[in-house]
Structure 1
Amino acid sequence: MQSLVNLSLLLFFLCHLIPLLSFFQKDKPNSVFLFGIFLFPLVVWIQLAKPVRILLLIKILN
């Protein structure tokens, strides 16, 4: 269970690192597009984190 949480955190940071680096190198018209790329992994990560939170809650209650 802990490895699943660590893996999702690792994916989260990897997905955000590349757009963040390119955000500072690109000119302004692309910033909206890059913000979209930056936001997408966050939404995906939140969706992936929901079942993990539910499983952790069940584990705590038991």
Structure 2
Amino acid sequence: MNNQRLVILLLLVAYIFSPTLFTWIINPEGAWFRPYIIWVAVIIIAYIVQSRKKRPHDL
């Protein structure tokens, strides 16, 4: 149940800040690597979430 609350909270925060974030990403005066910052953050968060799950039967 705790994980569901976290996911709902993250989705709510993403929904609230998505217009500002999208504007920041597509700003033509910004750096070329801005969209990649978001994807790197998503990959790092996914890695952290997966590494916290302890599975003793997995190799």
Superposition TM-score tier, normalisation by shorter sequence: 0.3 to 0.5
Q: Does 1 or 2 have the higher relative contact order (CA < 8 Å, sep 6+)?
A: 1
TM-score normalised according to structure 2 size: 0.45
- Higher percent of residues as helix: 1
